Chains A and B, each alone.
Chain A
């Protein structure tokens, strides 16, 4: 059974950093791109970033470009989100999600989500 488990969330002051991890199991990790999606309290979903199956291509929403970095370790079936210069508006539940299609096929979006990890940016 496909399983994604996020970790690394917590309470952090504005301007500080946090690194999220997402451990995957139940499927062969390396052929699939991976995504991060966030949801601010009481708000809708916001796609944050995607990393290709081989780690070469990375895409970000404008609001996090230059501050967040997505990466992966295929040997450990894990995807990461390094978040620097955190802002109050980055407060959210962060979900990692598996790309539906394998390889670079992103047109079907995501199919499996983790349970999320909460990031609170507060002074």
Chain B
């Protein structure tokens, strides 16, 4: 199975800050990497797929990049509604493993 290592596990930030979350795959997954946002008690929401394609309706302050084994999610200017948990997931091969998650806190 492909292991996904996400870091940091949590980050404290303020409104307006730039936040960067990384995700590393244990083997080459090309660009088959998806990012989700999850708020407490809610289902995850798709942010980015194909490593860098913004899902419809997602604000442009979210940006995904990377290929192969190293990927990054960047929030350019943190907004109050962005305080949440973020997960990466590889969809290159089964099982479609997730990273451990990153909690973005105030």
Contact = CB atoms under 8 A, between A and B. Distances in A.
Interface of A: 35, 44-47, 50, 59-62, 95, 100, 106-116
Given A95-B43, A113-B45, A106 B98 contact: no
Interface residues of B, number: 25
Nearest to B100: A44
B91 A44 contact: no
B99 to A, nearest CB: 8
B89 to A, nearest CB: 6
Given A44-B101, A113-B44, A115-B43, A108 B95 contact: no
Contact of B32 (A47, A107, A110): A107
Interface string B90-106: 01101111111100000
